[in-house]
Structure 1
Amino acid sequence: MAMKKSIILIFVLSVLNFSYAQNFVSDSLEIESSTPKADKLFKRMWYKEAAQAYETELNSLNRKKDKKDDNYLRVLKRTGDAYFFNTDMENAYRVYDKLISTYYPNINPEYIFRYAHSLEGIGRYNEAKRWMKEFAKKTKKLDDRSEYYDQIDQTIEDVLNIQPQFVLHNLSINTEYSDFGPMYYKDKLVFSSAVDSSNYHTRIYHWNEQPFLNVYVGELNAIESDIDNTEDFSSTINTRYHEAILTFTPDHKRVYFTRNNYDGKLKRDKKGTNHLKLYSADLVKNEEDEEEWRNIKELPFNSDEYSVGHPTLSSDGKLLYFVSDMPGSIGGTDIFVVDVFEDEENDSISSTRYSKPRNLGEKINTAGREMFPFITDRALYFASDGHLGLGGLDVYESKINDKTFNNPKNLGSPLNSKLDDFSFIIKEDLNRGFVSSNRTTGKGDDDIYSFVRVPIKEEKPKCDQIVRGFVSNEVTGERIANVTVTLYSETGEKLETTTTGLNGAYRFNKVLNCDTKYKVLAEKTGYGEKNKPLLTDKITGETVVALGLQTVDKLIVEEGGLLKIKIGIIYFDLDKSYIRNDAAIELNKIVVLMTQYPKMVIKIESHTDSRNTDEYNLALSDRRAKSTREYLISQGIATNRIESAKGYGESRLINKCTNGVPCSEAEHQLNRRSEFIILKM
């Protein structure tokens, strides 16, 4: 993109200086070059011409049989880099893909990083994420970027699924060249452009074969969706080199702007690099009583050894944010801030003081590049390729909470695209603003777009409820196991069914809404159904619903998990098994109950005490059980409704009264019993 190819060229280079040549395949730059012309173009950052020259050499090497030599590796790298630095991601991917497939895994990890970014640039997000993970794996503890990409838990799908909230409009003033960097100025909009309309039309910036950038101004239309009547912003600010990215004090009497390190002539560092600097200028009246920008002065924290640029001012003018790769930066370029101190009695540039620059820290800045900050009273907006995005630079929002910045959030598509999106500005009260992008649907290189932001409706905080409870006997209070409990919606839709445990407790797994009506139904053989409405609690947590059941008849009880018909004691004469009259009275209660519930099926178990021999007691109890069954059948109960009648002798005593243990008659009587166990109803 022209933006990267021009005003931030130094920032771009700073992020590309990582090297691990000691541990991996060498950078192959020490060998004798077979492409001196291409190398010269590359070093001058004339990447478009360099790429063409390298392609010629690469085609020649491809025709040779042995392509895996140091020179082939070097030319592959340089060809890919020439495209990558010029943001030609299609061709960068094509060349890097050949580089990776030929030399992986013995390749400098920086090229894995660039390969991943080229994949993002052509929309192949899943592959890009995989290669970023590989980059993190190979550079563990060697590169700060590895930790971020190794621990990232958000996915590209999460970013793609962000609810759209922007409607974009391409401005009429956009050209085939680079147009970007909008900023409000009174009722106008200033911006930077490489359109060839200046007095320096013969000067071409060979990185992108476009004229150098200058600043222009245009009139906003009534709804601030476009501008017209554009003209040069200032003949004193525009020079023969790059000027871009401005910000103004609240009274519009001072401007801060980015320019090449130029003061009549270009200044370079020890390596011959021309960096960017921040300058300020005051609006004053000239001899003709016309306002013009004068007193241009560079800011005190500039340096010939690193770049400073992309200014933005807080609404009160007391905080100046900017971008730099100065010492203390976390990544390629970071966002910094300084306090601005004005002399109330003297508002000239010379009287303005600035604090020491402060890095905004790791919440905002990453090992990648953070650029183009724009501050409002509500949030900090900036572009980054270090946070998870859709490719290239994406725009992020970090809301301000008690003077601190929250974690940045990607603003999603369509504001962001798979290419570069940056220079975001907004009027929060109008939800209108401007953004720059080099997406392929534009008119030229970088284009400026106006936008309307449609606020996302604030959803109510998610409130979840789980329903649990227990079931007990309403009469005895005893907890009941194996109860079927079913959850229904208010309209009767079955949602889930579960069963109580040994302690009578149940729990539904389905997550429910808070403050919502549901129904619970409890059922178990021998018990009446219990249908209970419920209203879940209003805050996230658990709603406890206790349920009480009663048996369908007072003669039916549950003991030890078994349903039984509880009647009076069935007495037998000593050593006898026939049914006595008093026993018949009790058994008739069973006859009535089984007649009332015609589907009831039972089994009969008879028991004795421990007195007498085991064999005798077993035979006696069995005769009594069968005698009991015969009596019930004689009273009209169908044979198939009594599954079995069996005696157990003294094998199932319910107290301590075993052989040889002295017990009272009452204690022995407890063991002489008949039990009627309900199997079906």
Structure 2
Amino acid sequence: MKSRLIIAFFFIGIGFGLAQEIESQGDKYFYAYAYEDAIRAYQKQMQRGESLNNYQRLNLADAYFQTRDYKKAAKIYLDVEKNDSIMSDHRFNKMLQSLDKISEHDKVVTLLQSGDNSFKGELLENAEFNDGAMQADGSGAAEFAILTLNGNSPQADISPAFYPNGLLFSSSRKTRSKKIYGPSGEAYLDIYKAANADSGALTEIEPLSRIPSSKFHKSTPHYSESTGNVYYVLSNTEDDELAFDDRGKNALAIGMVNENGSFRFLLKDLSTSFYYPFYDENTGRLYFSANFKDSYGGTDIYYVDMNGGQVMSEPINLGPRINSPGNEIAPYIFDNSLYFSSDVFYGIGGMDIYRSNIMSDNGFSIPVNLGRDINTINDEFGFIIKENPEGGFMGYFSSNKPGGKGSDDIYGFKISEKPGLRTLLFKGRVVEAPYDQWIADASIKILDAEGNTLKEDSSGTNGGYQLEIPHNSEVTLEVSKPFFSTFSKTYYSEELENLGQSPLKIELTSIADIVKEAEGKMVLDINKFFFATGQSNLTPEITMEIDKVVDAVKKFPNLKFSIETHTDSRGGRSSNQRISEQRSAAIADYLLKNGVSSDNITQVRGFGEDKIVNDCSDGVYCLEFLHQQNLRTLFVVENYDKLSQ
């Protein structure tokens, strides 16, 4: 059975957000969430010879989807997508879900790669990563021990929240209210507290008395230890009756009640529903889900800044790394990770639980599906977690999987380490040194210990990059671009532990900054140095300059150059020839001993006084500075044209 919470709350936004005018009995049933009745009514309409327009056909596809007839849903979605442009990204997600559930994964991949959809690059990367992780069956992730809790009712029990000495949760059990919520056939949701459930039982269950009384929904509580406030969702009412906007929509608001029972609305809009509040004590942000018009699909996760119980900012969307064309709900932050649920097409079931690491720049890593230990083909949501006093971690979540006592039940879990597949994240910018200017279209590769490419991408227009892979004990990051140096660094286990916590700036050097033209050739741009008269030994002043050649080769591993040493005309011609050759050989020997490969050095030559650059030839009197113009060593770049392509 579909989760009562999802029927009652999350498709309100879809029904009204996508609704055309109600034209038939099928439409009426559909927008009242009576999906089986809607299917029968639409079928009767077609049997009378009255065709369905494409909006109604999509309603019918949605109704099949909600009743889990994915084959029929997929057929209609595909047909409408082929012949009309009215398919929203949210319904495109449902189409992909339907295809995946009937084992048409290849068709899902084809549709994603077709370019006909408007999906963001982050979503496609998320899908590829999680698809690979699912095929690897969660390798490297700790296993969940799932606990069935006594105390669940035959009705819906959902959204657990930690509370002093116990739990808060939502339930449609009939303790305080006899009113029935039409779409679910059960009582409106109310908030309850239970004694400590660590033993595997929900005991001493009673309504949370500090919540103001209402005949309608009160649900999805979150308790803040630092403020003592309870944040929760409630139906918009006026004079104790439901309040509707000018289109007849009743939405859900977020309220807050303090320890003294004083209530305040935080987020309220008759045309927008808000769900699943979570107050992050470290940042003072209130996270929640909402069906704003600017969402990426159905419900997205947002936050607002809070100060003293007051909302201080506009809602901020968490962006396409987290939000998808599906529904994202139930944000929960623990140990610098965001946990939430999503019904995005690449999941295992309906709602799956994911984890994303929070970056220092407020960005997020790829959300990782927590795997088949906890996620099923049904709906899992409302995940909370804390440290277990006995070691490891423990927490709770809700699911409507078979075998429970009611339509949705609360389950406990224990796990030995932080849940989810361990990943490595490389994130930052590629810039040109020393100017700190962004470099776009740089090639970025992550290689394994054997040199195989694990993942590759290019830097964006602002030099930004982000690549994430499953955890490895050794990886190499390579960054390159024509006309620029190559960055290559190998990271081992210890360094990898802190990887991704802060942006990694990669500096590349332009070949133009280390090369100049001299004597009609392209040579490495280093300071001039001098040997002692008649000597070929390398002084510290000389090696300091030659080390710049070593650095150039590190930056440009494919650099090929010849070494050319020249003398002045003083002394004998044969001795000048010999000492120039000795000096070039000494330089080459030093380079080879300091990491330069023999493949980089094409020739080692001494020209003696054969190539004087001024008039100071044999027998001509010249000042010292003129003779020094002829004392020189050139590192001639032989493949400059290839390096600059």
TM-score by length of 1: 0.55
> Any idea what the Cα deviations from partners look like across 1:100-142, whole Å, max 9, x if unmatched?
587773355456543332344xx43x415624743774843xx
Separation in 2, partners of 1:339, 1:112: 33
Separation in 1, partners of 2:386, 2:491: 38
**C-alpha spacing 1:538/1:82, structure 2 compared with 1 (3 Å):** closer
> Any idea what the Cα deviations from partners look like across 1:199-244, whole Å, max 9, x if unmatched?
x32x2222122221111111114x3533212111137435211111
**C-alpha spacing 1:420/1:55, structure 2 compared with 1 (3 Å):** same
> Any idea what the Cα deviations from partners look like across 1:416-462, whole Å, max 9, x if unmatched?
12222111000045510001112234333222110112327999999
Q: Which moved more, 1:248-257 or 1:104-113?
A: 104-113
- Which one-letter code corresponds to 1:318 in the other structure? G
Asked if the contact 1:185/1:252 (under 8 Å) is kept, the reply is no
- Among 415, 422, 425, the alignment partner of 2:374 is 415
What residue is the counterpart of 1:298 in the other structure?
Answer: 265
- Among 314, 323, 348, the alignment partner of 1:365 is 323
> Any idea what the Cα deviations from partners look like across 1:164-197, whole Å, max 9, x if unmatched?
6212122222233221100011111011111233
Separation in 2, partners of 1:459, 1:117: 26
Deviation at 1:255, TM superposition (A): 1.2
Deviation at 1:278, TM superposition (A): 0.8
Where do 1:496-507 residues align within 5 Å?
Answer: none
Asked if the contact 1:112/1:132 (under 8 Å) is kept, the reply is no
Task: Tell me whether 1:438 sits opposite 2:393 in the alignment.
Answer: no
Where do 1:512-523 residues align within 5 Å?
Answer: none
What residue is the counterpart of 2:151 in the other structure?
Answer: 173
What residue is the counterpart of 1:7 in the other structure?
Answer: 9
Secondary structure of the 2:287 match is strand
Separation in 2, partners of 1:432, 1:220: 13
Separation in 2, partners of 1:428, 1:282: 26
What residue is the counterpart of 1:228 in the other structure?
Answer: 203
Asked if the contact 2:123/2:321 (under 8 Å) is kept, the reply is no
Task: Tell me whether 1:88 sits opposite 2:55 in the alignment.
Answer: no
Where do 1:66-105 residues align within 5 Å?
Answer: 70-71=51-52, 77-84=58-65, 87-89=66-68, 91=69, 93-97=70-74, 99=76, 105=82
- Among 278, 286, 292, the alignment partner of 1:312 is 278
Separation in 1, partners of 2:145, 2:188: 31
Separation in 1, partners of 2:423, 2:268: 48
Deviation at 1:367, TM superposition (A): 3.2
> Any idea what the Cα deviations from partners look like across 1:388-415, whole Å, max 9, x if unmatched?
3113221111123436333321111121
Cα RMSD, aligned residues only: 3.8
Deviation at 1:52, TM superposition (A): 2.7
Task: Tell me whether 1:182 sits opposite 2:160 in the alignment.
Answer: yes
Asked if the contact 2:324/2:344 (under 8 Å) is kept, the reply is yes
**C-alpha spacing 1:367/1:182, structure 2 compared with 1 (3 Å):** same
**C-alpha spacing 1:138/1:52, structure 2 compared with 1 (3 Å):** farther
Asked if the contact 2:331/2:339 (under 8 Å) is kept, the reply is yes
**C-alpha spacing 1:39/1:282, structure 2 compared with 1 (3 Å):** same
- Among 79, 91, 94, the alignment partner of 1:114 is 94
Deviation at 1:320, TM superposition (A): 1.6
Structure 2 residue runs without a partner (length 5+): 425-446, 453-472, 475-489, 494-645
- Which one-letter code corresponds to 1:116 in the other structure? L
Separation in 2, partners of 1:256, 1:234: 14
Structure 1 residue runs without a partner (length 5+): 19-26, 285-293, 343-348, 468-512, 515-536, 541-681
> Any idea what the Cα deviations from partners look like across 1:330-365, whole Å, max 9, x if unmatched?
4322222222222xxxxxx5xx45333322223222
Asked if the contact 1:6/1:242 (under 8 Å) is kept, the reply is no
Larger radius of gyration between Structure 1 and Structure 2: 1
What residue is the counterpart of 1:335 in the other structure?
Answer: 301
- Which one-letter code corresponds to 1:118 in the other structure? S
Task: Tell me whether 1:41 sits opposite 2:29 in the alignment.
Answer: yes
Task: Tell me whether 1:158 sits opposite 2:116 in the alignment.
Answer: no
Asked if the contact 2:286/2:303 (under 8 Å) is kept, the reply is yes
Identity of aligned residues (%): 25
What residue is the counterpart of 2:215 in the other structure?
Answer: 240
Deviation at 1:148, TM superposition (A): 3.6
Asked if the contact 1:248/1:255 (under 8 Å) is kept, the reply is yes
> Any idea what the Cα deviations from partners look like across 1:81-113, whole Å, max 9, x if unmatched?
3343xx321x3x254255358777335545654
Asked if the contact 1:237/1:243 (under 8 Å) is kept, the reply is no
Secondary structure of the 1:270 match is coil
